[in-house]
Each structure stands twice: as C-alpha cells, then as structure tokens.
Amino acid sequence: FFTRLGYTVLVAGRHTTLSHADCARQADAVIVNVPIEHTEEVIRAIGPVMRAGQLLIDNTGIKSRPITTMLASTDPAVEVLSIHTMFGAGVEDLRGQNIISVPTVRSGPMAQEFEDILFKYGAHITRATPEEHDMYVTFTQGLEHMDGVAKLATVFELAGDPANLKSFSTPNSRLAAEIYERIHAGDHHLYATMLKENPHILTTLEAYLRNFSEMVSDLKQGSTRVFEQKMSGNAARLKKG
C-alpha cells in the first residue's frame, strides 16, 4: 500500500537482512506488526534507537500493554500512535475497511498525517481509548471466534460431517456456516493469543455463558420463557437502534 503511494518501505523480520533496529534508525515512521506475544519485545529493542521527530506505531489486536511499552521505551520527543487494522493481510484496498486509531499523549502532527493518509484512501477511522478498544474487540473477535469454534465442534461431535446438514440448512444457518469457515481458515495461534492477552475477554465470555446457561436451565424445566424474554428484548433494542 505505502509503496504504491511512493513511499520507501523497509521491512525487517526473521528472514531479512535488515534488523528491526536498522529499520528504526532509517525510517521516519516505524510500524510494529508482529505476533502479539513478540510485540513488546520488538518495541523494547527498537525504542532506544529511535530519535526525536520519528513516529512509532503498533498494529496489534491488544492495545493497553503495547502503548505503555512504546511510551516507556522511547525518547519523549518520539511520537507514538497505536492502530488496529480490522482486516487481514490479503486486503489491498482500504475503501470501506475499519481501522481503529488509538492516539496517545505523544500523538502529534506525524501521527495525524499517518491517520489522514489512511482516511484519504477510504478507510473508516474510529478513535478509541486502549480500554475501549480492548473491550469492544472481545465481542467482534474474541466472542465471535470462541462461539464459532464451539458451534462447529458441537456439529462434528453430534452430526458428523457438516455436509450432512446441507439438506436441512436454512438461509440463516448457511450464513452461519460461511462464518464458521472464515473463522477456521484464519490463524489459529493468532486468535488464541488475542483471547489469552485481552484483559477483558473473560468478562465477555462469562456474560455469554450466563445468558446461555439461563436459557438452558429454563428449557430443562420445560419452559421457553427465558429464551422468549431475551429474544424479544433483543429485538426491541435492535429496532430502537
């Protein structure tokens, strides 16, 4: 993306000649885009070599700790911004894609310019605090992934091959099956790490389990009252929205 716009892009990784520190010394803006469990390690390695007037950005699925580490590992004159691209590496066109921008106390004109470039080329930019980001992604990623894995595991356990259900499928269940396939085609380790590292995920999953358990417990008593109450309540809230 940035190469097509005419910027010089340097890449450092496990199989490159350039090191992370080499890139950090040469670049005006440095984007840390590595597995979550290595993010803080890389930030600590490059932070001390960065100079005044540079911009350090992380693009990870968890925000609180990487931001704290970026601020602590760099000179106060280094700008710091955190983003989360809510799409995979295969996306080449930013139009209509969601990007979360988490400004810090050291987000200045370079951070604004970086954000403006993303906006100019069609990205939908939403600003959030680290806490808001980490909480909201528990619904759109963590709960979504956990629920999809549990549902498909249940199908395999009780129905065998999902293809056995094709003749029994409804429009809703076919949409759900497409989502399950997309989830399971993703990076299993990345999804698992995002679950493990997010400080808010257990709050969301426990709320989900509570709601689910309440409906199951009521059904065991021969009643669907709780299910109907929750479904009608949800529907009313959706109409208001």
Q: What is the pLDDT along the chain (241 residues), one digit of tens a residue?
A: 898 999 999 999 888 999 999 999 999 999 999 999 999 999 999 999 999 999 999 999 999 999 999 999 999 999 999 999 999 888 889 999 999 999 999 999 999 999 999 999 999 999 999 999 999 999 999 999 999 999 999 999 999 999 999 999 999 999 999 999 999 999 999 999 999 999 999 999 999 999 999 999 999 999 999 999 999 999 999 998 7
What is the SS3 assignment for 24-56?
Answer: HHHCCEEEECCCHHHHHHHHHHHHHHCCCCCEE
Strand partners, 32: 58
Whether the full predicted model's pTM is greater than 0.85, yes or no, is yes
CA 218 to each of CA 78, 103, 125, 213, 235: distance values in angstroms, whole numbers, following the listed order:
57, 46, 43, 8, 20
